[in-house]
Amino acid sequence: MKISVIGTGYVGLVTGTCLAETGNEVLCVDIDENKVKKLQKGEVPIYEPHLDVLFERNIKANRLNFTTSLKEGLEHGDIIFLALPTPEDEDGSADLKYVLGVSDDIGKLIESYKVIVDKSTVPVGTADKVKEVISKNAKVDFDIVSNPEFLREGFAVDDFLKPERIVIGSSSERATELMMKLYKPFVRSGNPIIVMDEKSAELTKYAANAFLATKITFMNEIANFCEIVGADVDKVRAGMGTDSRIGKRFLFPGIGYGGSCFPKDVKALYKSGKDSNYDFGILNAVIKVNDFQKKILIPRIKAFFNNDLKGKTFAIWGLAFKPETDDIREAPALYIINELLQLGASIKAFDPEAMPNVKKEFGDKVEYTLNKDDATISADALIICTEWSMFRTPNFEKLRSNLKHPVIFDGRNLYDLEEIKSEGFYYSSIGRKTVEL
Ligand SMILES: NC(=O)C1=CN([C@@H]2O[C@H](COP(=O)(O)OP(=O)(O)OC[C@H]3O[C@@H](n4cnc5c(N)ncnc54)[C@H](O)[C@@H]3O)[C@@H](O)[C@H]2O)C=CC1
Ligand SMILES: O=C(O)[C@H]1O[C@H](OP(=O)(O)OP(=O)(O)OC[C@H]2O[C@@H](n3ccc(=O)[nH]c3=O)[C@H](O)[C@@H]2O)[C@H](O)[C@@H](O)[C@@H]1O
C-alpha cells in the first residue's frame, strides 16, 4: 500500500520504517529541512535499538523516502498518518496547533479519497475537530481514523512490529477495512485489533498512560512510606506483583516518571476533565506526588553534607529519562542537576547516549565524562538517575578509591543492600533502609 507519514519524530520514524518493513511504499514528510536532509542521507536522528538496521534496509529497497513537501506527501499516500507533536500548552492541555494546522493544509491539498489517521496523542473530540477543519476546504471524500500509538522508547521497533493490541477508532467501514489490511501482518501472533469509535480510541490512549503513571506513583508513595516504617519496598513489590490481578510490571519505585508522554498526558487528561467540569482527583494527586518524587534525593543529599553543597562535586550516572534512549524530555536527572547547580555544587555526568542532548540544555555548566568511572574521580558522592545496565555491576573498589567519600544516592535501587554494606558504602535508595557508614 502507499502510505505517507507526516512528522518524523519518534513515532513518525518508527511508524514509517515499520510500515515499509512490511512491504508498503512509505513517504515521510517533515517541516524540518535539516532533519529531512539527514534522513535522506540514511542517518537516523534518534537512538533507538534495532531501528537503524530496518531503516537502512528499507531505504536501500527504496520503500522508505523523505520529503519536506506536504503536497508530495498527500499525493503519494492513500493512508496519511499524522505523527505530529501535541506538546503541553501553558494551561496543561494538549496543544493541537500542529495537528489542526496540518489538517487545514490537507483540506486545501487533497485531490482524491484519503484516510487521515491520527497517531498523535490527542484529547477526546480531536477526530471531529480534524474532520471539521479538513471539510472547510476539501473537494474530495476523506475519512478520519484515530489510531493511538502505544510504543515505548527503547523498545519501539518491537512494540510496533509485535503490538499487544492495535486500537482503531473509526466510523467508516471503508477506512476500517483499509486499516485492517494494513495492520494484518503485525497481528500474526493473535493479538487483537480492537475497533471502536473515535472518541473511545482517543480516550484509551490517555487512560492507558495515566493508569501506568498512577501505578508507578502509587509504588513511589508505598516506597516513601516503607522508609518511614522500616519496611523494604523490594519485598513489598515482590509480594504484591505476584498477584496476577496486580502484575509485576511498572511497580518499580524511583525518582518519578519522566519522558515525553506520561507527564504531559496525565496533565492533559486532568485538564480535559476540568474543561468538562470533572475533577480527576486521582490525577491531581499523581501530578503532585511525581513533582515531589523527582527531587526526593535533594533533601537527603543536603542533610548528608550538613546543608552546605557549595563547592561540592557530584557524579551523576544516567541522564536519559530511562535506559535505552537518548531522550531527556522531563528526565528526573535534569531536575536534580538544576537543584544542585543552584545550591552551588558542580556536576560531572555520564550517560551512554543522552550527553549530547543534555549539553544542548546545560552547555558547559555540567562536565561530561568519557566513561562512568571518570565521572566519579574526586566527586563527593555518586547519584544514580537512570538504570542503564552498565551501572548495575560497578567495580566497587575503583568507585571507593575514585570518590572522596564512599557515598551513593541511588534513585533506581540498583544494588543489593547487603552487598553495598560489605563494600563499605553509605547508600541511600528508594523505599529501603539507608546503609550507614
Ligand atoms: N515519543 C513517544 O514515545 C510516543 C509519542 N506519542 C505521541 O505521538 C506524537 C508525536 O510524538 P513524537 O514522535 O515523540 O514527537 P516529536 O516531537 O519527536 O516529533 C514530531 C515531528 O513532527 C515534525 N513537525 C512539526 N510540525 C510539522 C509540520 N507542520 N509538518 C511536518 N512535520 C512537522 C517535527 O519537525 C518533528 O520532527 C505526540 O502526540 C506524542 O504524544 C505516542 C506514543 C509514543
Ligand atoms: O505515550 C507514550 O509516549 C508512551 O509512554 C510510555 O512509554 P515511555 O515514555 O517510552 O517509557 P516508559 O517505559 O513507560 O517509562 C516512563 C517513565 O516511567 C518510569 N518508570 C517506569 C516503570 C516503572 O516501574 N517505574 C518507573 O519509574 C521510567 O523510568 C520513565 O521515566 C508508555 O509505556 C508507552 O506505552 C506509551 O506509548
> Residues with Cβ within 6 A of ligand 1?
6-12, 29-32, 35, 83-86, 98, 101-102, 120-121, 149, 151, 153, 260-261
Amino acid identity, position 156: A
Give one DSSP letter per residue of 48-78, joined into a string: -TTHHHHHHHHHHTT-EEEES-HHHHHHH-S
Residue 421's pLDDT band, with cuts at 50, 70 and 90, is very high
Neighbours of 128 (CB within 10 A): 13
Does residue 108 carry a pLDDT above 90? yes
Nearest atom in ligand 2 to the alpha carbon of residue 331 is 31
- Known active-site residue 28: no
Neighbours of 395 (CB within 10 A): 11
Residues pairing with 27 in the sheet: 4, 65
Task: Determine whether the shortest distance from the Cβ of 252 to ligand 2 is under 6 A.
Answer: yes
- CA-nearest of 364, 315, 305, 367 to 336 is 315
pLDDT digits (tens, 9 = 90+) for 215-239: 999 999 999 999 999 999 999 999 9
Residue 189's pLDDT band, with cuts at 50, 70 and 90, is confident
Sheet with 142-146: strands ordered across: 64-67, 25-29, 2-6, 79-82, 114-118, 142-146, 166-169, 193-196
Alpha helices in 251-387 (DSSP H): 262-275, 281-294, 297-304, 332-342, 355-362, 372-376
- Phi, psi for residue 20 in degrees, rounded to 5: -65, -40
pLDDT digits (tens, 9 = 90+) for 27-65: 999 999 999 999 999 999 998 999 999 999 999 999 999
Long-range contacts of 52-56 (CB under 8 A, 24+ apart): 54/17, 54/18, 54/20, 54/21, 54/157, 55/13, 55/17
- Alpha-carbon distance of 429 to 415, in angstroms, equals 9
pLDDT digits (tens, 9 = 90+) for 387-418: 999 999 999 999 999 999 999 999 999 999 99
Q: Which ligand is nearest to the CA of 217?
A: 2
- Return the residue whose CA atom lies nearest to atom 9 of ligand 1: 120
Q: Which ligand is nearest to the CA of 12?
A: 1
pLDDT digits (tens, 9 = 90+) for 85-102: 999 999 999 999 999 999
Q: Which domains are delineated in the chain?
A: 2-196 (3.40.50.720), 205-293 (1.10.1040.10), 295-428 (3.40.50.720)
CA atoms within 13 A on the CB side of 437: 7
Q: What is the DSSP letter of 403?
A: S
> How far is CA 254 from its chain centroid?
16
- Alpha-carbon distance of 230 to 90, in angstroms, equals 41
Does residue 188 carry a pLDDT above 90? no
Q: What is the DSSP letter of 423?
A: T
Q: Which ligand is nearest to the CA of 263?
A: 2
Query: Can you give the pLDDT at residue 424?
Result: 97
pLDDT over 90, % of the chain = 99
Query: Can you give the pLDDT at residue 168?
Result: 98
26: helix, coil or strand? strand
What is the residue-averaged pLDDT of the chain? 97
ipTM for the predicted complex comes to 0.98
Distance 152 CA to ligand 2 centre (A): 7
CA atoms within 13 A on the CB side of 337: 28
Cβ partners under 8 Å of residue 61, min gap 6:
20
Distance 78 CA to ligand 1 centre (A): 21
Cell numbers found for residue 118 = 491520527
263: helix, coil or strand? helix
Does residue 190 carry a pLDDT above 90? no
CA distances from 242 to 84, 154, 238, 308, 431 (A): 39, 26, 6, 43, 19
Does residue 296 carry a pLDDT above 80? yes
